[in-house]
Amino acid sequence: MINLIGTYECKADAKGRLMMTSAFKKQLAPVLQEGFVVKRAVFQPCLELYPMKEWNLMMEKINKLNRFVKKNNDFIRRFTAGVKVVEMDASGRILIPKDLCQFAGIQKQVVLSSAVNIIEIWDKDKYEKAIDDAAVDFADLAEEVMGNTDVDELS
């Protein structure tokens, strides 16, 4: 499993190409040749960029769902809606398809933010609003998610 670190700003050009930051390129070096999957996020108006290895691990989990349960089928359809395979070109750019740019409201200013093993791709204004909105409740959320567990459970 890859553990990515950092939040960086970049620009999208008129065709939806993003220049991957050198910091992420270095971290992704071992998996660059395998390509990536970009998809709509489940909870936020952003995109998620999965290294192919991480995507395959996610698909292994999803493939265990019983497809004769309607909720599972609905989830799979929604989770994989708009999924695209993308590659980094020789210049270090990733082309984000127009439909996904529209979903995330990506214009020109973009934030690339690590989320453990994936990179979230945000329109800068939407990212800053999401961070501001979450700041108020973050202490309570941190306590609820991380405060009520034994240290051993996290390892």
- Number of domains, the chain: 1
Q: 24-63 pLDDT, tens per residue?
A: 999 999 999 999 999 999 999 999 999 999 999 999 999 9
pTM above 0.85, yes or no: yes
Provide the mean pLDDT of the chain: 91
Backbone angles phi, psi at 46, to 5 degrees: -140, 180
Query: In this predicted structure, what is the pLDDT of residue 1?
Result: 75
Query: In this predicted structure, what is the pLDDT of residue 111?
Result: 97
Name the more confident of 151 and 133.
Answer: 133
Q: What's 58's domain CATH number?
A: 3.40.1550.20
Domain contains 66: yes
Domain contains 148: no
Domain contains 61: yes
Domain contains 47: yes
DSSP 72-122: HHHHHHHHTTT-EEE-B-TTSEEEPPHHHHHHHT--SEEEEEEETTEEEEE
Domain contains 149: no
Stretch 123-152: mean pLDDT, rounded?
Answer: 81
Domain contains 17: yes
Domain contains 52: yes
Query: In this predicted structure, what is the pLDDT of residue 113?
Result: 97
Q: Which domain holds residue 89?
A: 7-126
Stretch 77-106: mean pLDDT, rounded?
Answer: 94
Domain contains 151: no
